[in-house]
Structure 1
């Protein structure tokens, strides 16, 4: 990415920023059985933009959260694939379902924080509505 493109690009959230938002989410006392981490992820310019990962307690899948596209404020969730069938007890599936709700809540929280941060940064132009 050229210097000019970076200057005119929307702000990117750093790994440190995402870690602070995840800590804020966890401080709100969400009941999280698994673990949430922000893994290193470099963008085209070599900056560490981070990748939010929720590892459920009762499943081997990882749930990745990130903005849908570079210039898109909407976040999405990706679940890692499984090579084998997933067999769970009734209690484990209920726990996994609860963790999916937590993942959805976290992804919504990150999207809201991103929109708020974009607005406050002054670097993302306001879009006019018709």
Structure 2
């Protein structure tokens, strides 16, 4: 499977979601125009407790490192203490997903490099 294809990333999201420790996640792989003929790997992570959006993506094409981007918020968000705790859990889940995608990318690249050396 091509690296960071929509199919590969969906398999990784399904694997992440299957781990009950992370709770439920509404993350999904975005449809994108390929960069230099390759998928760039954009994952959208909708937040239920904020009016902003966040997304996860590799720092650059071909690099295994991922980052979370938090977009500017269009309006003020006022939250109860319980909703702030919920938002913190969502952000913690986004961070865990980002770390998971980075680990899977490193693993994928190591396997690909091992195959080319054989």
Q: Which has the higher helix share?
A: 2
Any gaps of 5 or more consecutive residues in structure 1? Answer: 1-10, 126-130
Name the larger-Rg structure. 1
Runs of 4+ with >3 A deviation:
45-50
Counterpart of 2:98 in structure 1 is 107
Q: TM-score, normalised by structure 1?
A: 0.78
In the alignment, does 2:33 pair up with 1:45?
Answer: no
Report if the CA contact (8 A) 2:65-2:102 is conserved: yes
Q: CA RMSD in A?
A: 2.3
**Larger RCO (CA within 8 A; separation ≥ 6):** 1
Any gaps of 5 or more consecutive residues in structure 2? Answer: none
Task: Give the total of aligned pairs.
Answer: 115
Give the Å deviation of 1:39. Answer: 0.8
> Equivalences for 1:80-91 in 2 at 5 Å?
80-91=71-82
Q: TM-score, normalised by structure 2?
A: 0.85
In the alignment, does 2:84 pair up with 1:117?
Answer: no
